[in-house]
Structure 1
Amino acid sequence: MAAPTVEGAAVTALRSVLHRVRQAAERSGRTQEQIRVVAVSKTKPVSLIRQVYDAGHRSFGENYVQEIVDKAPQLPEDIKWHFVGHLQSNKAKTLLGGVPNLDMVEGVGNEKIANHLDKAVSNLGRKPLKVLVQVNTSGEESKSGIDPSGCLGIVEHVRLRCPNLEFSGLMTIGMPDYTSTPENFRTLLNCRAEVCKALGMAEDQCELSMGMSGDFEKAIEMGSTSVRIGSTIFGPREYAKKQQN
């Protein structure tokens, strides 16, 4: 019997992840369909993404502007692309112009980037862009995102002053090893409660993007609606050369 290809391994891994997502969702009193799995394909070739796409997956994420701009035109238009993490404000125009099927930016950590994204969407005349506000739940200076105490202010800015952006929820990156403690997740839950109470929103209308390869099951159990899975699906990341956002 021939050894499985790398591509075959990724599809097998995806199925395993979806099974684990279903089990975690059930433990949280929800269904698998209520949890989005964003397959984060950073450093991975288009051919590998295509294999996962052909297995039926549609939500993919990238962390670098140049990489998503290069990959998106080579892949089917019905992919729902997510840009994940810190976005330099001067790259907003490049990102929006290069990825017409960009579905969401995770996340907006300050008013400056919100304003740049809003302007870029307006200039392109595309439909409003869904955004998640990024919250620095771990308190690390190296992490992007707003301090939890400033979360409501950013959300109000997006909703009131950025007509071309659609506030969709909150996200957090996690700890240095890309795992989070329940306290990190609880902080994001508390931010959502504060935001929803202040704005009169139902909490189920405010997404929570928290959880990655090392902690997504715990995140789902605590209420996450979207998890970002990279290495568990695609294998270790390959850095042939230094990447720049």
Structure 2
Amino acid sequence: MVKENLAEVEARISKACERAGRNREEVTLIAVSKTKPVSMMEEAIGAGIVDFGENKVQEIVDKYEAIPQKLNWHMIGHLQRNKVKYIVDKVCMIHSVDSLKLAETISELAVKKNVVVPILIEVNMAGEDTKFGVAPEAAPGLVEAAAKLPGIRVNGLMTIAPFVENPEDNRIHFRNLRKLSVDITGKNIDNVSMSALSMGMTGDYEVAIEEGATMVRVGTGIFGARNYAVPDSL
């Protein structure tokens, strides 16, 4: 099932890139494996997937230890400061930095572990009360402050768009995140690259790609419906 689903997702990504006049290589597919067993991940790995996204620290730690292959682990869920220590040297990127305090914690622990952690600033583009992320107008300031910290590099922006029936409803949020990225690029801030735009999930990743996404986070479209009964014990 996973291989067949991946083939369909890949075809849709390629077509979205064609429509946008972009190269397929510009978009990284992150397979969101949260709540999914290692066996399903191994099927995806067998199909060529190396980028996996997790929402919970405990799952990253467990799967990191269980899977021998070298993978790119992306922390895409809300990250509590007291859990940063468990993953700071395991992940290739933290997508969900939404406060200077969190950035400072990542910085402090990255320096201790002698690593440089690429981060994305999470922006709540739709202003949803139920979502994490900074307001769009606060994002440039957070980027600038985080960029001064050692041990991290600001690589771009991330957003979680609203759940909608019609993916076109989210186009405005993706377009505005892209504009925000361009505005921040224009500030020429040291230690900042706006090369990554992490936006778009199973329901709307094609629209996100048309609006400039460089990373799409697809879970249900690859692995099927999730089991939310997985505890986070750390």
TM range (shorter): over 0.9
Which consecutive residues of structure 2, in runs of 5 or more, have no partner in the other structure? none
> Normalized against structure 1, the TM-score is what?
0.88
1:155 to 143, 163, 172: 143
Pairwise CA distance, 1:193: 1.8
Distance 1:68 1:204, change over 3 A: closer
The aligned counterpart of 1:218 is 207
| 1:186 lines up with 2:178 in the alignment | no
- Distance (whole Å) between structure 2 residues aligned to residue 244 and residue 196 of structure 1: 39
Query: What RMSD, in angstroms, separates the aligned Cα atoms of the two structures?
Result: 2.0
1:137–1:187: 8 Å Cα contact kept in structure 2? Answer: yes
Deviation string, structure 1 residues 8-34 (Cα, Å, up to 9, x no partner) = x01111111111111111111111111
| 1:234 lines up with 2:226 in the alignment | no
2:17 to 21, 25, 43: 25
Which ranges of 4 or more aligned residues in structure 1 deviate by more than 2 Å? 176-180, 203-206, 239-245
Give the % identical residues.
38
Which consecutive residues of structure 1, in runs of 5 or more, have no partner in the other structure? 1-8
* Alignment coverage as a number of residue pairs: 231
Deviation string, structure 1 residues 152-172 (Cα, Å, up to 9, x no partner) = 011111212x12111110010
| 1:45 lines up with 2:4 in the alignment | no
The aligned counterpart of 2:80 is 88
The aligned counterpart of 2:158 is 171
| 1:10 lines up with 2:7 in the alignment | no
The aligned counterpart of 1:121 is 110
1:78–1:101: 8 Å Cα contact kept in structure 2? Answer: no
Which has the larger displacement, 128-137 or 171-180? 171-180
2:157–2:194: 8 Å Cα contact kept in structure 1? Answer: no
> Normalized against structure 2, the TM-score is what?
0.92
1:90-109 aligned within 5 A: 90-96=82-88, 100-109=89-98
Deviation string, structure 1 residues 166-204 (Cα, Å, up to 9, x no partner) = 111001011145966111112211211220111269x98
For the residue of structure 2 that corresponds to 1:92, the secondary structure is helix
